[in-house]
Amino acid sequence: MNWQIYIPSYKRAGDVTSHKIFPSAKIVVPESQLSDYQSHYGGQVVSIPDDRDGNLAIKRNAILDMAAADGVEWVLMVDDDYRYVGRITDHSNQNGQQQTRWLNNDEIETLIDDGCRMADELQTGMWGLNVKDDPKFYREYSPFSLTTPCLGPWQAVKVSELRYDETIFLKEDYDFWLQSIRKYRKTLRFQSYHYMVNHQTKSGGVVSYRTKQREEEHNQMLQKKWGRRVVKYDIGKSINPRVHIPTSRSDT
């Protein structure tokens, strides 16, 4: 399969961890930060013009354009603060609890290859992993889902005409997933595999422009775009929305 991994990063030179999990990935930074990042990660770093790094949605579109120019068919964008990629096994420990196994680099690349191939066969342009690491969210008789979100920390996207909405840059991953559902009528999510990232970093990235007020504004914009039946949120409980995909004629 023809795919490439990209790690968007901003003002976090020295703090990136995902390059260890994805050694073949390209770390994408604004041109003005290139030398700083290269001093830590060498040739793994590539740059885009500063004016294409205004927010994460703009940057994701720049990555898609870069991939298209390079003839890449599938793009996997991952956060820059990964701890591991894990798999919940079907085997239980002595207490009857399912266990999590961390994948090594070769196993992750095999997973990416299989994911892109399976998404192609399914005729969808997007696939991802479970957003939860708790085994209770994995049911061994339902290993895949076609209608649950594939979110920003791991979004595998087929290069096409779809682009991220640059006005909803705090919820751009939800919006892009909804665009993919509308276009392909399904996406692919592996339920036994999950990612674990460290969102405790206090500087750089979206932290530099994320506030609770802005989160609510972007939830409102997402809801206005897709409707109250599709997008629901309670900013008092979570900064992230819940999305519901209409599945019957009465829902549309």
Give pLDDT tens digits for 157-197.
Answer: 999 999 999 999 999 999 999 999 999 999 999 999 999 99
Instruction: Report the DSSP pairing between strands 231-232 and 242-243.
Output: antiparallel
pLDDT band at residue 203 using 50, 70 and 90 as cut-offs: low
The pLDDT of residue 23 is 98
pLDDT band at residue 245 using 50, 70 and 90 as cut-offs: confident
Q: pLDDT of 101-150, one tens digit each?
A: 999 999 999 999 999 999 999 999 999 999 988 877 777 778 999 999 99
The pLDDT of residue 139 is 72
The pLDDT of residue 248 is 42
The pLDDT of residue 93 is 54
Instruction: Return contacts of 199-202, CB within 8 angstroms, 24+ apart.
Output: 199/81, 201/12, 201/15, 201/81
Q: pLDDT of 12-25, one tens digit each?
A: 999 999 999 999 99
In this model, does residue 209 exceed pLDDT 80? Answer: no
pTM of structure: 0.91
In this model, does residue 100 exceed pLDDT 70? Answer: yes
